[in-house]
Amino acid sequence: MNKLSYGLLSLLSTEPMTGYDLTLKINLFWRSTHSAIYPLLSELEEEGIIELTLIKQNGKPDKKLYHLTKKGEELLYQWVTSETSDAVVRDEMTLKLYCLKCMNMDAADKLLGELETKYKRKVEKYRNAIDKLKSRSEEYSEDIPPSLFGAYILTQKALNEALLGQKWCEWVRDLYAKKDISFLTEDFN
Amino acid sequence: MNKLSYGLLSLLSTEPMTGYDLTLKINLFWRSTHSAIYPLLSELEEEGIIELTLIKQNGKPDKKLYHLTKKGEELLYQWVTSETSDAVVRDEMTLKLYCLKCMNMDAADKLLGELETKYKRKVEKYRNAIDKLKSRSEEYSEDIPPSLFGAYILTQKALNEALLGQKWCEWVRDLYAKKDISFLTEDFN
DNA sequence: TATGACATGTAACATGTTACATGATTCT
DNA sequence: AGAATCATGTAACATGTTACATGTCATA
């Protein structure tokens, strides 16, 4: 049981899903690919942690709709209540930003522009996702129903962070602009 | 040249460092361990991207103080101006939070408490780091000097995010409290 | 007519983590 | 006396990424 396995169980705790669905959904919160997920699903099934229902389709391969077993639910509970390890973050952009000081203005401008574009796209993406969640809620004439609670709070978190990122970019631009002259002199020493 | 290699070059662009120093410093922005870093440094040195100065010590192993070569600086510039890949984020806490809805109140409370503690520690850590950077700046009677610019803006970013995280936790607690009854009924159906 | 979504899987390779290995000095 | 810091390295194992493999349907 590695962390990705528990992630799959987490998603399956809301509703039965296929490997394909899981691949798409988990990527909102956890970087992975189908090549890592399909083999794990097979293992989890062999160990009786999840079960599958075959759904025949024409043209496409048969769907394997997975759901948690009792054993899977128990495992999930144990994991949720155990110690949580630190986040693994590997962001190439961060490493590049560290070098802002040794870049000329064009390069620095380009990099910050790239980052701002990324944040802008994220803001759109997460706003859309929240709108979608809210419209799904209205169908049941409630506010966010329990089954969507996790997705809702995490999407809101991601949106907060993207908005904060945008502000940070502006702050850095201002700082950088003030330092113009000292940077240039460093460049030629 | 993988991303970690470029990360090492980024850090070395500020000042010469040993593998030991690099391991500590890069972990502020990029998860890694010395076991991954030492072999990479050897490779980079073989390819003439970095060079080392041996510093003899008694008791401890000799220090290998690495610095960028001309070739290394050129590589660094090329990388910084090339396309940046998306961040890899794997946060176990996020996966657990997704399941908040299927947890009883005690478990949910414990998890949020754990997260709040983590954010609190981060806030302290990054505030200290910023204070230290500022005091180092005053020695040179400037504001943040160019060589510390990258570390300064990235630490500020990390601090912003930790503070935001704290607020988010409060928001989630409120939301969760409002939903108390519906959650409990779900628990027993 | 070409791209993308749907849907599953394997294989080769790259990367990351943990444990092992050594050893002096300083702090508790 | 024992743990933490400094300082480097290797080996075994776990995990992640990319490319290969197949095939239909809908959209641009």
Give tens-digit pLDDT for B114-151.
999 999 999 999 999 898 888 877 776 667 888 899 99
Per residue in A1-52, pLDDT (tens digit) is 999 999 999 999 999 999 999 999 999 999 999 999 999 999 999 999 999 9
CA of A41 to C1' of D28 (A): 35
Q: How far is B19 from chain A (nearest CA, A)?
A: 17
Asked whether the beta carbons of residue A92 and residue B6 sit closer than 8 angstroms, the reply is: yes
Amino acid in position A2: N
The whole-number pLDDT of residue B180 equals: 54
Task: Report CB contact under 8 Å: B103, A80.
Answer: yes
pLDDT at A72 over 80: yes
Helix residue ranges per DSSP H, chain B? 3-12, 19-26, 34-46, 70-80, 92-98, 105-139, 146-178, 180-187
Q: Which residue of A has its CA nearest to B26?
A: A95
Contact B6 A101 (CB under 8 A): no
The mean pLDDT of B80-97, rounded to a whole number, is: 96
CA angle (B123, A95, A189) in 5-degree steps: 110
Of A93, A160, A182, nearest to B168 by CB-CB distance is A160
Domain map (residue ranges) of chain A: 3-81, 92-185
Segment B2-24 shows an average pLDDT of 97
- Just give the CATH number of A3-81: 1.10.10.10
- Report pLDDT for B80: 95
Least reliable range by pLDDT among A131-140, A159-168, B107-116, B166-175: A131-140
Contact B92/A85, CB-based, under 8 Å? yes
- The pLDDT of residue A140 is 67
Looking at residue B162, its amino acid is A
**Segment A126-145, tens digit of pLDDT:** 999 998 888 877 776 667 88
- Cα dihedral A13, A19, A20, A24, rounded to 10, equals 50
Q: Which residues of B touch A125 (CB under 8 A)?
A: none
Distance from CA of B16 to the nearest CA of A (A): 15
Encode pLDDT of B23-40 as tens digits. 999 999 999 999 999 999
CA B93 / C1′ C27 distance in Å: 35
In this model, does residue B181 exceed pLDDT 50? no
